[in-house]
Amino acid sequence: MLDIKELHAKVEDKEILKGLNLNIKAGEVHAIMGPNGSGKSTLANVLAGRNGYEVTKGSIEYDGKDLLELEPEERAWAGVFLAFQYPVEIPGVNNVYLLKAAVNAIRKNRGEQELDAVEFLALVKEKMKLVKMKEDLLNRAVNEGFSGGEKKRNEIFQMAVLEPKLAILDETDSGLDIDALKIVSEGVNSLRSPERSIILVTHYQRLLDYIKPDHVHVLSNGKIIKSGGPELALELEEKGYDWIVETEAA
Amino acid sequence: MSTNSEKMEDLVGKDYEHGFVTDIDSDTVAPGLNEEVITFISKKKEEPEWLLEWRLKAYRHWLTMEDPTWAHLDIEHIDYQAISYYSAPKKKEDGPQSLDEVDPKLLETYEKLGIPLQEQKFLAGVAVDAVFDSVSVATTFKGKLADAGVIFCSFSEAVKDHPELVKKYLGSVVPAADNFFAALNSAVFTDGSFVYIPKGVRCPMELSTYFRINASNTGQFERTLIVADEASHVSYLEGCTAPMRDENQLHAAVVELVALEDAEIKYSTVQNWYPGDENGVGGIYNFVTKRADCRGDNSKVSWTQVETGSAITWKYPSCILKGDNSVGEFYSVAVTNNYQQADTGTKMIHLGKNTRSTIISKGISAKKAQQSYRGLVKVSKSADNARNYTQCDSLLMGDQCGAHTFPYIEAKNSSAKVEHEATTSKIGDDQLFYCLQRGIKEEDAVNMIVNGFCKEVFKELPMEFAVEAQKLLGITLEGAVG
C-alpha cells in the first residue's frame, strides 16, 4: 500500500528526514511517535505534498504509483487524506460547501458520477453521527470560530465523508480534552477497514489507549530508530524517549 | 449549493470574453471637442434649447478645470481632443419602432453578452435598457412598467417625453460643475437611462441597463437619473462591457439618484469593462461620478458594486443623507489584476438627524495591481445621533500588488458615532494547501476563498447578479496565484 524507502527531505535548507523507511499494508494502523523536532509532521506534510517540503532522496510508492510525482490534489484524488495538526480557517466559505466541492472534485477525477445535493446531504447525515458532529458546525465558515476540539472533529468528519485509502492524522490528539479525544478516537475506529491504512502521528501514548495500532514506530532525528507492537508505546510512556534515543545511538 | 468546479471548468482558460467587436455601420462624429460638437450632439438628439445651454455652460466651466491628480492613480495624459464624442449605430430611415426593427447584429451582440433583449425570452422578469456606444438601443418591458406608472426609458426619450422631470432633477445631485469628469459628462453626455417611480409604487421588476462601448476612439458618457418619489421602491442593475482594444477608452458617466420621503433605491453595478491586457496595454478608463441624494425623511439608498474591469477605476458612489432617519449603504468588491488600478470608495454625508450609514468594502489585488479605498464620512453640525460603520478589508495575492486605505472622517456633532475597521490579509498558502489536500483544484480553491472573502457584499446583490459576479471574480483572478 505504502512503501517509503530511504526518504530524505528538507525544509528551508535544513535536512529533517534522513533516510526514513516505512512499509504499510492495506488495513493497517501505524503509529509514528517521537520527540518534538524528530520529523513527524514533516513526514505527514511530505506525504500530502505540501509546498516547501523538498524531497532530496528516496522514494515513496503508494498504491502502485510514484507518490512524489503527484500534485497535492492528485494525491487527494488517489485517496490520500491528511488530518491537519492546525486546521485552517477559511472565512466566508461554508464548511459543508467546501466538503461538497471536495467530494465531487474527487469523484469527478475518478470518473465517478458527482453527487447531487440530496445524495450529498444523505451522506453527510450518515457520517455526522460517527463523530457526533453538531449540525450548526456544518453551516458555519470552515473552522472559523471553532474550538480546538471542534476543529479536530471536523477533520475526522471530513475524513469520514471522503473515505480515503490512506489517512494521515497529524497530532489529531493534541489540544483535545479527554471527552473530545474519546469521540475523535471512536470516529477513527469506526473508519478502520481492511482497505484503509491509517498513520497516526502523535507525541503521546494517550491516543493509543483509544486507537489500537498494529505497529508503533519511534522517529528520532529523521529516521525510524525502533519499531514494535502496541507494547512499545506503553514502554515509551513509562520511560520517555531518551532511553531509546540513547540506546540506539550507542 | 452546486459546486464551483463545473462553472470554473468553463471559465479556466478564458480571456476577456466580452472582447468582440461588432461590425456595424455607425454614425460617428470626428474626434475633438468644442461648442460645435456639443451643439451637434444636442441637435442630433433634438434637444430643447435649455438643455443645450446647460451643456454649453458645463463645457465652459470644464475648460477652466484641470484633471484631478489627487487619486492614488498613475494616469497617462488624456488627449480630450482625440476622442470622438458621439457614435451611434446607423439607423435605417427613422429608426426602430420596435425590437423587430432593431439591427439584428446589435441584437446578436447583446445575445453574446447574455442580455435577453427579446421579451419572449424574458423569464427573469428584468426590464433592460441597453446602451450601445452613445445611444440607447432598446428598452424592454415598457408596457408592463407603464401600467404601474413607472417610467423607464432612455435619457433622450425622457428629455422628449418628460422634460419637466428631467429639468427638475438633472444636475440636482451632481451639479454640472461638480468635478472635472462630471463637467465633461454634462457637456457631452449622449444617452443613458431615466427612471421615475411614482408615489407609493413598488417597481414590479428589477430594472437593468447594459452599457457597451463598441466603436474605437469613442468615449462613453452616459447619464443616469433615477427619481424615487415618496414611499416608492426600486432595484436597479447596471452592467458594462467593452471590446478589447489597444488604446485606452474613456468612460465618464454620471449617475444621480434622488430618494424622496420613505423611498428606497437599491443600485447594483457589475462593472466589467475591458481591463487591458496582462502588460497593461489598453483598457477602459472608468471615471464615474455616482451620487445619491436621500432628500426625504426615512429614505434609503444602497449602492452595491462589483468592480472587476477597467484599466483604471476612479469612482466613489456616495450618499447625501439629508432627510432625517435616512440611510445610506455602500457595499463594494473591487478586484484589480495585472496592471489594473483602482481608487474607489464612497462618501457618506450626514446632514439629517438619526442618519445612518454602512460601508463594507472588499478589495482584492493580484499581480502588479494597485488599489486604494478612499472614503469620507462627514457628520455635519445638524446631524444629531448620526451613525456610521465602516469595514474595509483588503486581500492581497502575491507580493507585487498593493492595497491602500484612505479613510477620512469629519465629525462636527459630538453625538456622532463613527466606527472604522480595516484589515489586510494575504491569501494564505495554508488555506490553499488545505483545499488542495481535499482534492479541490487551485483555481477552484482561489475562487472559493475569494468568494468567501466577498460574501458580505455578494449577499446584497440580486440573485442572478450574484452568480455573474462570482463568475467574473473567477475570470478576473484566473492565473493570479502560482
The 10s digit of each residue's pLDDT in B279-294 is 877 788 889 999 999 9
The 10s digit of each residue's pLDDT in B296-346 is 999 999 999 988 888 888 899 999 999 999 999 999 999 888 888 889 999
What does the pLDDT read at residue B191? Answer: 82
The 10s digit of each residue's pLDDT in A36-66 is 889 999 999 999 999 999 999 999 999 999 9
Q: How far is A89 from chain B (nearest CA, A)?
A: 7
- Of the listed ranges A140-149, B11-20, B56-65, B269-278, the least confidently predicted one is B11-20
Q: Do A98 and B3 touch (CB under 8 A)?
A: no
The 10s digit of each residue's pLDDT in B47-105 is 999 999 999 999 999 999 988 888 888 878 888 888 888 876 555 444 444 555 556 66
Residue B198 has pLDDT above 80, yes or no: yes
Q: Do A100 and B453 touch (CB under 8 A)?
A: no
What's the sign of the alpha-carbon dihedral A45, A50, A52, A56?
A: positive
CA distance A145 to A99: 18
Residue A1, chain B, CB below 8 Å: the answer is no
Give the bridge partners for B345, in sequence order: B374
Residue B388 has pLDDT above 90, yes or no: yes
Residue A144, chain B, CB below 8 Å: the answer is no
Mean per-residue pLDDT for B464-475? 74
Per residue in A83-102, is it b (16+ CB within 10 Å) or e — as a string? bbbebbbbbbbbbbbbbbbb
Neighbours of B230 (CB within 10 A): 18
The more confidently predicted of residues B211 and A68 is: A68
The more confidently predicted of residues B222 and B440 is: B440
Q: How far is B458 from chain A (nearest CA, A)?
A: 11
What does the pLDDT read at residue A211? Answer: 94
Closest partner CB to B455 (pick from A51, A73, A92): A92
Mean per-residue pLDDT for B380-389? 96
Q: Are A55 and A68 in contact (CB under 8 A)?
A: yes
Residue A8 has pLDDT above 90, yes or no: yes
Mean per-residue pLDDT for B350-373? 93
What does the pLDDT read at residue B310? Answer: 80
What does the pLDDT read at residue B211? Answer: 66
What does the pLDDT read at residue A19? Answer: 95
What does the pLDDT read at residue B71? Answer: 81
Mean per-residue pLDDT for B349-368? 94
- ipTM confidence: 0.95
pLDDT confidence band for B244 (50 / 70 / 90):
low
Residue B453, chain A, CB below 8 Å: the answer is yes
Q: Are B383 and B352 in contact (CB under 8 A)?
A: yes
Closest partner CB to A76 (pick from B5, B437, B448): B437
What does the pLDDT read at residue A250? Answer: 54
Q: Which residue of A has its CA nearest to B455?
A: A92
CA distance B384 to B173: 23
Q: Are B197 and B82 in contact (CB under 8 A)?
A: no
Q: Which residue of B has its CA nearest to A44?
A: B437
Q: How far is B3 from chain A (nearest CA, A)?
A: 5
pLDDT confidence band for B124 (50 / 70 / 90):
very low
The 10s digit of each residue's pLDDT in A87-127 is 999 988 999 999 999 999 999 999 999 999 899 999 999 99
Q: Which residue of B has its CA nearest to A82?
A: B437
Chain A residues within 8 A of B438 when measuring between CB atoms: 76, 98-99, 101-102, 105, 158, 162
The more confidently predicted of residues B366 and B414 is: B414
What does the pLDDT read at residue B125? Answer: 45
One-letter-per-residue 3-state SS of chain B? CCCHHHHHHHHCCCCCCCCCCCCCCEEECCCCCCHHHHHHHHHHCCCCHHHHHHHHHHHHHHHCCCCCCCCCCCCCCCCCCCCECCEEECCCCCCCCCHHHCCHHHHHHHHHCCCCCCHHHCCCCEEEEEEECCEEEEECCHHHHHHCCCEEEEHHHHHHHCHHHHHHHCCCCCCCCCCHHHHHHHHHCCECEEEEECCCCECCCEEEEEEECCCCCECECEEEEEEECCCCEEEEEEEEECCCCCCEEEECCEEEEEECCCCEEEEEEEECCCCCCCCCCCEEEEEEEEEEEECCCCCEEEEEEEECCCCEEEECCEEEECCCCCEEEEEEEEEECCCCEEEEEEEEEECCCCCEEEEEEEEEEECCCEEEEEEEEEECCCCCCCEEEEEEEEEEECCCCEEEEEEEEEECCCCCEEEEEEEEEECCHHHHHHHHHCCCCHHHHHHHHHHHHCHHHHCCCCHHHHHHHHHHHHHHCCCCCC
What does the pLDDT read at residue B9? Answer: 34
Task: Find the angle CA(B452)-CA(B456)-CA(B459) to the nearest 5 degrees.
Answer: 100
The 10s digit of each residue's pLDDT in A172-204 is 998 888 888 998 999 999 999 999 999 999 988
- Of the listed ranges B213-227, B254-268, B418-432, the least confidently predicted one is B213-227
Q: Do B439 and A76 touch (CB under 8 A)?
A: yes
Highest mean pLDDT among A155-159, B41-45, B340-344, B473-477: A155-159
What does the pLDDT read at residue B212? Answer: 64
Chain length of chain B: 482
Residue B240 is placed in which grid cell?
458594462
Residue A77, chain B, CB below 8 Å: the answer is yes
What does the pLDDT read at residue B14? Answer: 46
CA B222 to chain centroid = 11
The 10s digit of each residue's pLDDT in A193-249 is 999 999 999 988 889 999 999 999 999 999 999 999 999 988 888 888 887 777 765
Give me the phi and psi of B471, to 5 degrees please.
-60, -45
Residue type, B377: V
What does the pLDDT read at residue A238? Answer: 85
Give the bridge partners for B421, in sequence order: B391
- Of the listed ranges A11-25, A36-50, B344-358, B465-479, the least confidently predicted one is B465-479
The more confidently predicted of residues B142 and B390 is: B390
Q: How far is B455 from chain A (nearest CA, A)?
A: 6
Q: Please provide the average confidence, as pLDDT, over all residues in chain B.
A: 82
Chain length of chain A: 250
The 10s digit of each residue's pLDDT in A157-169 is 999 999 999 999 9
Residue B439, chain A, CB below 8 Å: the answer is yes
What does the pLDDT read at residue B96? Answer: 46
Residue type, A164: P
What does the pLDDT read at residue B38? Answer: 92
Q: Please provide the average confidence, as pLDDT, over all residues in chain A.
A: 92
Give me the phi and psi of A136, to 5 degrees please.
-65, -20
- Of the listed ranges A201-205, B434-438, B476-480, the least confidently predicted one is B476-480
Give me the phi and psi of A89, to 5 degrees please.
-90, 135
What does the pLDDT read at residue B469? Answer: 76
Chain B residues within 8 A of A89 when measuring between CB atoms: 431
Mean per-residue pLDDT for A12-29? 95
Q: Do A90 and B449 touch (CB under 8 A)?
A: yes
CA distance A191 to B382: 67
What's the sign of the alpha-carbon dihedral A70, A72, A77, A80?
A: positive
What does the pLDDT read at residue A119? Answer: 93
The more confidently predicted of residues B113 and B93 is: B113
Mean per-residue pLDDT for B219-244? 84
CA distance B2 to B321: 40
The 10s digit of each residue's pLDDT in B153-173 is 889 889 999 999 999 999 999
Highest mean pLDDT among A96-110, B126-140, B440-454: A96-110
Closest partner CB to A50 (pick from B1, B433, B442): B433
Neighbours of B390 (CB within 10 A): 24
Q: Are A207 and A181 in contact (CB under 8 A)?
A: yes
Closest partner CB to A72 (pick from B4, B433, B453): B433
Distance between the two ends of chain A, CA-based, in angstroms? Answer: 33
Residue A53, chain B, CB below 8 Å: the answer is no
What does the pLDDT read at residue B346? Answer: 96
| Chain B, window 377-436: residues with a beta carbon less than 8 angstroms from a chain A beta carbon | 428-431, 433-436
Chain A residues within 8 A of B393 when measuring between CB atoms: none
Longest dimension (CA), chain B: 68
What does the pLDDT read at residue B12? Answer: 36
* pTM, to two decimals: 0.78
